[in-house]
Chains A and B, each alone.
Chain A
Amino acid sequence: MTTRTDSAGTRATSPAGARTNVPPPQPGGRLDRLAAPLAPRATAARVAGGVVTVVGAYLPWVTFVLNRGPYPEKASLQFFVAPFGVTGFRLHLVLFGLAAIVLALVAVPARGRILRGLAWGVIAVSVLNGLYIAVQGGGLGAITASDGAVAFGAIVALVGGVLLLLGAHAGGIEPRPEWRRQLNPWVERGVLLLAYLALLFVVAAVLTSGGQGGAANPFSGAVFLSFLGALGGFFAALHASGLLTWITALSERHRLFSVLVLLVVALALPLTPAGTEYWMTVAANIGVYAATAIGLNIVVGLAGLLDLGYVAFLGIGAIVAANLSGAGAARFDIALPFPVVMIICAVVAGIFGAIVGSPTLRVRGDYLAIVTLAFGEIFVRSAQNNIGGLTGGSNAIPGIPQVELFGTRFSDRIAVGGLRLPAGVLYYVLIVLIVALVMLVFSHLKESRLGRAWIAIREDEDAARAMGIRTGPIKILAFLTGATLAGFAGAFFAHKTGTVSYESFRFTESVTLLAAVVLGGMGTVPGAVLGAALLFTLPEKLREFADYRLLLFGIALVLIMRFRPQGLVPDRHRRAELAHDPADDHLVEGTSGRDTGPTPRTEVPA
Chain B
Amino acid sequence: MSTAEAVAPERTGGSPILVADGVTMQFGGLRALNDVSFALHEGQIIGLIGPNGAGKTTFFNCLTGLYAPTAGTVSLRGARLPQDPARVTEKGIARTFQNIRLFPSMTAEENVLVGRHVRMEQSPLSSLLHGPKFRRSEAAARERSRELLEFVGLARFGDELSRNLPYGDQRRLEIARALATDPAVLLLDEPTAGMNAQETEGTRQLIFKIRDLGVSVVVIEHDTKFIFTLCDRVLVLVQGELLVAGTPDEVRGDPRVVEAYLGAPPEEVEAQLHGGDGDGAGATEAPADPVDGARDGAGSPTTGSHIADLHRADPHRKDVHP
Contact = CB atoms under 8 A, between A and B. Distances in A.
Interface stretch (B32-40, B189-197, B238-246): B189-197
Contact of B86 (A12, A450, A469, A593): A469
A604 B161 contact: no
B87 interface: yes
Interface string B104-136: 111100100111111010101001111000100
Nearest to A12: B196
A576 B178 CA distance: 25
B115 A2 contact: no
Interface in B266-322: 272, 275-276, 278-279, 281-283, 285-286, 288-290, 311-313, 315, 320, 322
Interface stretch (B17-25, B166-174, B206-214, B255-263): B166-174
A107 interface: no
A593 B107 contact: no
A574 B164 CA distance: 12
B41 interface: no
A177 interface: no
Nearest to A461: B322
Given A11-B288, A15-B167, A20-B104, A604 B87 contact: no
A604 B196 contact: no
Contacts of B281: 605
Contacts of B110: 452, 455
A466 B94 CA distance: 7
A436 to B, nearest CB: 15
A470 B86 contact: yes
B143 interface: no
Contacts of B107: 573, 576
B44 interface: no
A602 interface: yes
Interface string A219-262: 00000000000000000000000000000000000000000000
Contacts, number: 209
B204 interface: no
A41 interface: no
Given A450-B127, A467-B115, A6 B164 contact: no
B147 interface: no
A596 interface: yes
A470 B138 CA distance: 19
Contact of A592 (B137, B168, B197, B312): B168
Given A4-B194, A11-B311, A449 B86 contact: no
Interface residues of B, number: 80
A32 to B, nearest CB: 26
A596 B200 CA distance: 13
A456 interface: yes
Contacts of A468: 86-87, 89-90, 115, 117-118, 181
A534 B193 CA distance: 48
A11 B194 contact: yes
Contact of B197 (A12, A471, A604): A12
A584 B137 CA distance: 32
B320 A462 contact: yes
Contact of A604 (B64, B170, B272): B272
A157 interface: no
B68 interface: no
B99 A1 contact: yes
B198 A17 contact: no
A7 interface: yes
A457 to B, nearest CB: 9
Given A11-B288, A11-B311, A574-B105, A456 B114 contact: yes
Contacts of A593: 168, 195-196, 198-199
B185 to A, nearest CB: 13
A240 to B, nearest CB: 24
Interface centre among B103, B141, B157, B290 (most CB of A within 10 A): B103
A547 interface: no
B314 to A, nearest CB: 9
Interface size band for A: 35 or more
A11 to B, nearest CB: 6
Interface string A1-31: 1101011100111111110110000000000
A451 interface: yes
A577 B106 contact: no
B254 interface: no
A515 B164 CA distance: 29
A580 B122 contact: no
Interface string A441-477: 1001100111111011001101111111111000001
Contact of A599 (B160, B197, B272, B289): B197
B97 interface: yes
Given A448-B122, A449-B122, A580-B160, A459 B288 contact: no
A467 B313 contact: no
B288 A2 contact: no
Contacts of A13: 196
Contacts of B194: 2, 4, 11, 14-17
B127 A459 contact: no
A573 B161 contact: yes
Given A449-B122, A468-B86, A12 B195 contact: yes
Interface of B: 64, 66, 84-87, 89-90, 94-95, 97, 99-107, 110, 113-118, 120, 122, 124, 127-130, 134, 137-138, 141, 157, 159-161, 163-170, 177-178, 181, 193-200, 272, 275-276, 278-279, 281-283, 285-286, 288-290, 311-313, 315, 320, 322
Interface of A: 1-2, 4, 6-8, 11-18, 20-21, 441, 444-445, 448-453, 455-456, 459-460, 462-471, 477, 571, 573-574, 576-577, 580, 584, 587-588, 591-593, 596, 599-606
The 5 closest A-B pairs by CB, nearest first: A468-B118, A468-B89, A448-B127, A459-B103, A18-B167
Given A6-B288, A601-B285, 11 more contacts: A4-B193, A11-B194, A452-B117, A460-B103, A463-B101, A467-B86, A470-B86, A577-B161, A587-B160, A587-B164, A593-B168
19 contacts: A6-B312, A8-B288, A15-B168, A441-B128, A445-B127, A453-B114, A466-B97, A467-B86, A467-B114, A467-B177, A467-B181, A470-B87, A573-B161, A577-B105, A580-B161, A587-B166, A592-B167, A592-B168, A601-B288
